[in-house]
Amino acid sequence: AFVAFGRMHLDVSGQVFVIFILTVAAAEAALALGLVVLLFRRRETLSAEAWSELREQPSA
């Protein structure tokens, strides 16, 4: 939609915004993958049950 809007108004700002959005999405994916790799190296499992131990305990 941003690219189409920019093309209608003969402006490249829509394309720049799309590239910015894709860059942010790639950074988020890289961060998530890094966290999964870190947790896998520490627990040596991909089981979410083993990772639930990392959760903070509620204070009474």
Query: What is the per-residue pLDDT across 47-60, written as a single tens digit (0 to 9) for each?
Result: 878 777 777 777 76
Q: How confident is the model at residue 29 (pLDDT cuts 50, 70, 90)?
A: very high
Average pLDDT in the 19-26 region? 95
Average pLDDT in the 30-59 region? 83
pTM of the model: 0.65
Both tokens of residue 39?
Answer: 């947790």
Q: How confident is the model at residue 44 (pLDDT cuts 50, 70, 90)?
A: confident
In degrees and rounded to multiples of 5, residue 12 shows phi and psi of: -95, 0
CA 10 to chain centre: 31
